[in-house]
Amino acid sequence: MARMASRPREVTVSYRGIPYLLDLVRCRRALVQRQIEGELDSMESLANVVGISRSTASRFFSGRPTSLAVTLRILAALRLRFEDVAAPADDERDDAAGSVGAAVAGPLPGGPRPIGAGGPRAAAVA
């Protein structure tokens, strides 16, 4: 039996220019759970429920780009919330870099920079 290429466990996606890490394993598990519960019986049935093509649904689960609207509709059909499966990718870099990385990471999405972050000293570090 031929071995299939491994599926990505997570993928970085970008919506409105903001990168997120998307947990594909959790999405696939939710699809299997909906199949076990009898809500869905295939990738094609998910596509029909969501109102997209089967190939678009397959693209989502393989980690290839889909629009934010399509992603949200798929997640709703799987009974998942965006926050359940996606985390801002910048958080991972900030955590790995420590406090210096947080100071040069740039403005926080949706809000002002933290006190002490940025300024001439941070620009010199970058």
32-75 per-position pLDDT tens digit:
999 999 999 999 999 999 999 999 999 999 999 999 999 999 99
Question: How many degrees, rounded to 5, is the angle at CA 76 between CA 73 and CA 81?
Answer: 115
Dump the DSSP string for 60-90.
HHHT----HHHHHHHHHHTT--HHHHEEEHH
Domain extents in the chain? 10-88, 98-125
Q: Return the number of other C-beta atoms located less than 10 Å from residue 67's C-beta.
A: 11
pLDDT confidence bin for 6, thresholds 50/70/90: confident
Question: What CATH number belongs to 10-88?
Answer: 1.10.260.40
CB 99 within 8 A of CB 69: no
Residue 79 — pLDDT band, cuts 50, 70, 90?
A: very high
| Higher pLDDT pick, 105 / 50 | 50
pLDDT in tens, 109-124: 444 444 444 444 444 4
pLDDT at 4 over 80: no
